[in-house]
Structure 1
Amino acid sequence: MLCAAQRTDDVVGLLALKTGERLLDIGCGNGYLSAQLANQGAEVVGFDINPERVLAARAWGLEVKRGNAEELYFHQEFDAVFSHNALHEMHQADQVASGAFMALKPGGRFVGEFPGRGHALLIRRALSGALERRSINLMGMERWYLPNAHEYQRVLERAGFHVSHISWFEQPMSAELSIGDWIRNNCGHYLQAVPMEMRIPFLEEVTEELVSDLLDGSGRWTVDATRLRFKAHRKA
Structure 2
Amino acid sequence: MDTSEKADPWSPENYKIHAHFVPKLVKHDLITLLSPRSHERILDLGCGDGMLTRQIQEMCKECIGIDKSQHMIEEAKLNECKDVRVVDCEKLTEWVNNQGFVGYFDSVFSNAALHWMKNQEAVIEGIAKCLKPGGKLVAELGGSGNVQIVEKSLISALDKRGYNGKELSPWYFPSPEDYTQILNKYKFSVNYISHFSRPTELPTTIGGWVETFGFSFLAPLEDNEKEIVKGEVEEMSRDEVFNNETDKWILNYVRLRIVAQFNS
8 A contact 1:71–1:96 mirrored in 2 = yes
CA separation of 1:25 and 1:193: change in aligned 2, threshold 3 A: same
Q: What stretches of structure 2 of length at least 5 have no aligned partner?
A: 1-20
User: Residue 65 of structure 1 corresponds to which residue in structure 2?
Assistant: 85
1:23 to 5, 25, 42: 42
SS at 2:28 equivalent: helix
Q: In the aligned structure 1, how far is the partner of 2:67 from the partner of 2:149?
A: 29
User: Residue 211 of structure 1 corresponds to which residue in structure 2?
Assistant: 238
User: Residue 261 of structure 2 corresponds to which residue in structure 1?
Assistant: 233
Given residue 258 of structure 2, which amino acid in structure 1 is its aligned partner?
F
User: Residue 129 of structure 1 corresponds to which residue in structure 2?
Assistant: 156
User: Residue 57 of structure 2 corresponds to which residue in structure 1?
Assistant: 38
Q: In the aligned structure 1, how far is the partner of 2:77 from the partner of 2:231?
A: 39
Identity %: 29
8 A contact 1:17–1:42 mirrored in 2 = no
Instruction: Return the offset for 1:218.
Output: 1.8
1:150 to 172, 177, 183: 177
CA separation of 1:199 and 1:96: change in aligned 2, threshold 3 A: closer
1:6-48 Cα shifts (integer Å, max 9, x gaps): 4332221111211221101111111111001112234111111
CA RMSD of aligned residues (A): 1.8
Larger mean CA deviation between 223-232 and 186-195 belongs to 186-195
1:174 to 173, 182, 201: 201
Alignment of 1:191-206 (within 5 A): 191-206=218-233
Q: In the aligned structure 2, how far is the partner of 1:155 from the partner of 1:46?
A: 23
Instruction: Return the offset for 1:139.
Output: 5.4
Given residue 26 of structure 1, which amino acid in structure 2 is its aligned partner?
L
Instruction: Return the offset for 1:204.
Output: 2.2
1:188-224 Cα shifts (integer Å, max 9, x gaps): 2222333333333332222122221111122100111
Q: In the aligned structure 1, how far is the partner of 2:161 from the partner of 2:85?
A: 42
Q: In the aligned structure 2, how far is the partner of 1:139 from the partner of 1:78?
A: 36
1:159-189 Cα shifts (integer Å, max 9, x gaps): 1111101121111111110111111111122
Q: In the aligned structure 1, how far is the partner of 2:200 from the partner of 2:85?
A: 31
Given residue 146 of structure 2, which amino acid in structure 1 is its aligned partner?
H
Q: In the aligned structure 1, how far is the partner of 2:207 from the partner of 2:116?
A: 21
User: Residue 224 of structure 1 corresponds to which residue in structure 2?
Assistant: 252
Instruction: Return the offset for 1:91.
Output: 1.2
User: Residue 112 of structure 1 corresponds to which residue in structure 2?
Assistant: 139
Instruction: Return the offset for 1:130.
Output: 2.3
Larger mean CA deviation between 135-144 and 121-130 belongs to 135-144
Larger mean CA deviation between 74-83 and 193-202 belongs to 193-202
User: Residue 11 of structure 1 corresponds to which residue in structure 2?
Assistant: 30
Alignment of 1:50-89 (within 5 A): 50-59=69-78, 60-72=80-92, 73=96, 74-89=101-116
Given residue 86 of structure 2, which amino acid in structure 1 is its aligned partner?
R
Instruction: Return the offset for 1:65.
Output: 2.6
TM-score (norm 1): 0.91
CA separation of 1:20 and 1:174: change in aligned 2, threshold 3 A: same
8 A contact 2:50–2:81 mirrored in 1 = no
Larger mean CA deviation between 63-72 and 79-88 belongs to 63-72
Q: In the aligned structure 2, how far is the partner of 1:63 from the partner of 1:142?
A: 31
Given residue 36 of structure 2, which amino acid in structure 1 is its aligned partner?
L
Q: What stretches of structure 1 of length at least 5 have no aligned partner?
A: none
8 A contact 2:128–2:262 mirrored in 1 = yes
CA separation of 1:70 and 1:204: change in aligned 2, threshold 3 A: closer
Q: In the aligned structure 2, how far is the partner of 1:54 from the partner of 1:133?
A: 36
